[in-house]
């Protein structure tokens, strides 16, 4: 019996090492998306696991969009906006922060790890930071393993 448990644990570890997560990043058009563009034009490498979805403002990302993405197979979701005080829509990033708090509560209801969602601030001049955030998120999700909602 103990041998079966050890073998199952080794198989799970091997699966996670081969696992490549799918991560959606909702990026503010004015800052985060421009930061992604800067990372690309600067040839700063980051994992290809991230799919960027451009939104006018991070404050426009409704919690239902994040939950739907996670329950339909995404392994992680990022919401990336302008730094507080720099929002082109004045307080959109503050709305994003309050929505992120609501999303964290909703993750509990869906029995999902809170690490599967992350809110970050990245300006248009922070290409290296954008790449760093993407890399950190991919590594974090690889440690968690596939989403329980992911189709086999």
The answer, yes or no, to whether residue 50 has pLDDT greater than 60, is yes
* Structure confidence by residue, pLDDT tens digits, 11-38: 444 455 689 999 999 999 999 999 999 9
Q: Which residue has the tokens 């290296």?
A: 128
Who has greater pLDDT, 75 or 16? 75
CA-based nearest residue to 96, from 66, 68, 58, 53: 58
Tokens representing 70 are: 């996670």
Q: Going from the N-terminus, what domains does the chain have, and what CATH number goes with each?
A: 21-144 (3.40.50)
The structure's pTM equals 0.87
Calculate the CA dihedral of residues 8, 12, 13, 15 and round it to 10 degrees: 130
């Amino acid at each position: 019996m103990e041998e079966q448990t050890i073998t199952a644990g080794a198989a799970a570890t091997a699966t996670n090492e081969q696992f490549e997560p799918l991560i959606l990043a909702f990026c503010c058009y004015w800052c985060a998306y421009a930061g992604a563009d800067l990372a690309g034009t600067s040839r700063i490498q980051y994992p290809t696991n991230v799919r960027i979805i451009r939104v006018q403002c991070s404050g426009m990302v409704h919690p239902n969009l994040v939950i739907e993405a996670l329950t339909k197979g995404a392994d992680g979701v990022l919401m990336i906006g302008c730094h507080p005080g720099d929002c082109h829509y004045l307080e959109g990033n503050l709305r994003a922060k309050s929505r992120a708090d609501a999303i964290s509560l909703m993750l509990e209801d869906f029995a999902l790890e809170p690490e599967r969602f992350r809110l970050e601030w990245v300006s248009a001049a922070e290409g290296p930071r954008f790449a760093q955030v993407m890399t950190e998120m991919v590594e974090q999700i690889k440690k968690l393993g596939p989403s329980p909602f992911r189709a086999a």
